[in-house]
Amino acid sequence: MDNTLIESPQQEREVPISRNNIFNFKPDSVETVQFPLIRFGSQFENLDIAAKGHKYGSTRVLVELDSETYVLMPAGLELEEVEKIYNLYRKGVYCEYLSEEEGNTDFAYLGIGDSFDIMNEQEQGSSVQIAPYANIYIPFGVTVEEIENLSILLHRGVEISRKK
């Protein structure tokens, strides 16, 4: 695999940035950034290429899956984790970032188990707040195992987001 598969974005993009994961996101952290952008083959192939981004010196990569959805993820994920991300995307799971007014600064930081419990108890087909400035949309048909995977991936720095 040569590094021409990972290209620089053709245009600058405003992307919500969290330091390590969505739990650290703040509304004023939307910046114009130049992440390595993956555009090569199918959506799954693009995610798999992104997971190998660390071989090309990238620590985080941006993958546009469709005209509305992108994944910001750490490089170096295993194929099994890439499959989990892709399956969550196909089910319709995504992060919603909240504005300063919509957020709740008193919201406590959630560990993997706590975020799993909150998402698992949430009625499917709705959003649940899991961080001071972030909700997760849990569509109908998401299994308990997929919610557990989502909780782990969010804490690893994976963000499946919809463009506003």
Residue 74 CA, distance from chain mean position = 9
Query: What phi and psi, each to the nearest 5 degrees, are found at residue 120?
Result: -70, -35
> Is the pLDDT assigned to residue 42 strictly greater than 50?
yes
Task: Find, among 105, 44, 104, the residue nearest to 77 by Cα.
Answer: 44
Tens digit of pLDDT for each residue in 103-141?
A: 988 888 888 899 999 999 988 899 999 988 889 999 999
| Alpha carbon 127 to its chain's center | 15
The predicted structure's pLDDT at residue 92: 94
Q: What is the pTM of this model?
A: 0.77
What is the full DSSP assignment across 109-121?
A: P--HHHHHHHHHH
Residue 44 pLDDT class (50, 70, 90 cuts)? confident
| pLDDT score for 150 | 93
Residues whose CB is less than 8 angstroms from the CB of residue 65 and which lie 6 or more positions away in sequence, other chains included: 43, 46, 47, 71, 89
The pLDDT assigned to 64 comes to 78
E-assigned strand segments in the chain: 6-7, 13-16, 30-33, 37-38, 60-64, 69-74, 94-97, 126-131, 134-138, 159-162
Q: Which tokens belong to 151?
A: 């909780």
